[in-house]
Amino acid sequence: MYDMKDIVVNFFEERFGTFMEGAVCFAPGRVNLIGEHIDYNGGHVFPCALSMGTYAAARKRNDRKLMFCSANYPELGIVEGSLDELGYDPEEGWTVYPKGVMHELIRRGYEIPCGLEMMFYGNLPQGAGLSSSASIEVLTGTFLNELFGFGLSPEEIASIGQAAENDYVGVKCGIMDQFASAMGRKDHAILLNTSSMEHSYVPIAMEGYKIVIIDSNVPHKLSDSQYNERRSECARGLEMLRQASDIKAICDLDSVEFEKYKGVIDDPVVLRRVRHAVYENERTLDAAALLSAGDITGFGRLMNESHISLRDDYEVTGPELDVLAEEAWKIKGCIGSRMTGAGFGGSTVSIVAEDALDDFEDEVGAAYRRRTGLMADFYMADIGDGARVL
């Protein structure tokens, strides 16, 4: 079996020469099983880290130059920069993510005393909504922590990655993606309270079932999406709710309280956004409890309800993700399917009986081609550990 550490080192040596005295690290992508678009509303999310993700080999230079290279984009060659010129350039492409992490570390008082040569290689499907950007951010924090001895905890690396995406890249994401990448545990999902950052690990013991990720092949471009618009709508909803209730976040309300106070929201669009957040938070807590108790069928039912809410109240699914979910629901042996990630393209996640996997891929794939003209890619997801030095 091939060794990913050797592969990324080989890529490094093809561009930069013999690899010595550096760091080789990995940070996974993530899939969120349920709890979508509530990590910035103070709710609970339920992600798990994947065995797929991004690898990097990095070593120090004796000057201030930054040299980025990606084996996924060999046509770009080496992208050069400088520690003295870390300003944001939207035309720069993927290097904004590692540069954003460096910028945030320096802003927080950590010294990066010299430049770096860095080779990145990812095996996440591009644009599938599995958090490749968060993976790169957490990965960068991990190898900088290793090379320069910052003593950062995984939680701190996640926080730095989120700040880089919020304040440098300009995407107002919540903490879930970076937290799952940094803090994942093999064969467990993380029940994370995004308001308090309290979290627990829930074993994913689904004997006879598999987690299947379907990439719609409609690229998920977070910074080009309506993601920030949804955040703004929720902020308006919170402001309205505060006329009736002393809450800090939308998900401080349960469904009974929401139904009591919803009359203060005078915008029907904002009302739908808030309703999704409140009910999705309750679904997530219920889903984690059901999965802990071994009730896979009940868990799957809540996944389906989540997708419907994201389609009708939050309006982030789009026709391709709706087709994938609808066709999955028709398959005997599929107990639940929903979009995962920010939406506007990307992927669905399904729980499928092992003896139905072949029929599931054949029938959903054929229906998707027929209804959209597109090809979908299917991945059997393994739940892995979080970011680490290899």
Give the separation between CA 216 and CA 318, rounded to whole angstroms: 11
The answer to whether 367 and 323 have CB atoms below 8 angstroms apart is yes
Question: Which is catalytic among the residues 39, 177, 252, 313?
Answer: 177
- DSSP letter assigned to residue 85: B
Structure tokens at 195: 């308001």
Task: Using DSSP bridges, classify how beta strands 347-353 and 334-340 pair: parallel, antiparallel or unpaired.
Answer: antiparallel
| Cβ-proximal residues to 69 (8 Å cutoff; 6+ apart), any chain | 11, 12, 15, 16, 76, 77, 78, 79, 117, 118, 119, 120
In the residue annotation, 177 being an active-site residue is answered as: yes
Q: Is 238 exposed, middle or buried (0-12, 13-18, 19+ CB in 10 A)?
A: buried
Neighbour order of strands in the sheet with 347-353: 334-340, 347-353, 209-215, 377-380
Structure tokens at 323: 């087709």
Question: Which residues are known to be catalytic?
Answer: 177
